[in-house]
Structure 1
Amino acid sequence: MRIVPMSAEHGDAVLEIFREGIEMGHATFEHTSPTWHEFDAAKLPDHRFVALDVEQVLGWVAVSPTSDRDVYRGVVEDALYVTEGARGRGVGRALLEQLVASTDAGDVWTICSGIFPENVTSLALHESLGFRSLGVRERIGLMTYGPMAGTWRDVVWMERRRPS
């Protein structure tokens, strides 16, 4: 497995893995996958990566700005997705480690992450890489699709600060 910067050539696979996350029901409030153009515009280009096994995309990580206000320019929110067949193989850890290294070396001082409490694997992974829980945002969003449709969901809000 290798971790490489995400590019448009990975777009179809990245969006397919995102669709898997939507269908799982414990990864996102989104109910449809964006187009590559929308995805590309929303994610910071210097801090997005894919994990490859030969040329197959196993997972991806990327960040989005939390605000367009200049005072928050170094605060981002992460998104981390691993295809079902590659889970449990260290793909998520390798991707998140690369993201942390990239943001620490760049212009980011805080990575935030909102994770459903049921996604215990993601919570544990983030915590193992220095993220801390700031609390639970209770009933923050209503699911509108799939088996969880009509259910209010909590989100554990986590952050990691770049070491001084």
Structure 2
Amino acid sequence: MNDITVRPMRRDDADTILAIYQAGLDSGDASLETQAPTWTEFDAGRLPEHRYVAVDDSGTALGWIAVSQVSTRRVYAGVVEHSVYVDPTQQGRGIARLLLTTLIAATEAAGIWTIQSGVFPENVASLALHTRAGFRVVGTRERVARQHGRWRDVVLLERRSPVII
């Protein structure tokens, strides 16, 4: 991991970020989505101050994490939903954990008190990652949507900051 650093996401990361996103979608256990958005759509749907990429010594993006606003209502200003994706050839190296740790620190510094996410129950690695990072299971949305002809459940996770009181 000494050769991996995390930095803010930049516009010139777009092609690699979207390719990593699509690879995750192609796995079938990352999202109900099946097609990565355009960069314009990606950019519009995520908060610019909480987007990070993990890069190797050459500057190649290996994974990314970003948050979206949960609601435009002011009472939910401190609640975000995150996504984290790692290049399939780089999985198992601790990159997602590094990205999530960075995101948690940055969102707490910004006064965000809750990070939430939805994960398929089949995505055991992601569930374990989130548990280790202090997320708890809130519940399961059963048969919430069909994907590739089968009903999918989604486990709802949240991490309530112990710092923001």
TM-score range, shorter chain: over 0.9
Matched with 1:9 is 12
1:24 counterpart = 2:23? no
User: Alpha-carbon deviation of 1:42?
Assistant: 0.7
Structure 1 position 109 matched with structure 2 position 108:
no
**Structure 1: 4+ residue segments shifted above 4 A:** none
Q: Which runs of 5+ in 1 are unaligned?
A: 144-148
Unpaired runs of 5+ residues, structure 2, are none
- Counterpart secondary structure, 1:71: helix
2:136 pairs with 1:132? yes
> What CA distance in whole angstroms lies between the structure 2 residues aligned with 1:141 and 1:60?
25
Distance 2:74 2:37 in 1: 26
Cα shift at 1:77 = 0.5
Matching residue's letter, 1:154: D
Q: How does 1:79-98 map to 2 (within 5 A)?
A: 79-98=83-102
**Could you tell me how far apart the structure 2 residues matched to 1:23 and 1:107 are?**
34
Matched, 1:39 2:38: no
C-alpha separation in 2, matches of 1:82 and 1:31? 16
- Give a deviation string over 1:135-159, Cα, whole Å, max 9, x none: 111001111xxxxx11110011000
Count residues in correspondence.
Answer: 159
Q: What SS is found at the alignment partner of 1:26?
A: coil
Residue aligning to 1:146: none
1:121 paired residue among 117, 121, 125: 125
Residue 115 of structure 2 aligns with an amino acid whose one-letter code is I
Instruction: Tell me the distance in 2 between the aligned counterparts of 1:69 and 1:42.
Output: 16
| 1:8 Cα deviation from its structure 2 partner | 0.4
Structure 2 partner of 1:152: 151
Verify: 1:48 aligned to 2:31, yes or no: no
Q: 1: CA distance between counterparts of 2:101 and 2:29? A: 22
- How far does the alpha carbon of each residue in 1:22-48 deviate from its partner, in whole angstroms, 9 at most, with x for none? 100000111211111110111111111
RMSD: 0.8
Q: Which residue among 63, 69, 73 is the counterpart of 2:67? A: 63
Instruction: Name the counterpart of 2:160.
Output: 161
What CA distance in whole angstroms lies between the structure 1 residues aligned with 2:158 and 2:51? Answer: 18
Q: Residues of 2 paired with 1:47 and 1:152: CA distance?
A: 32
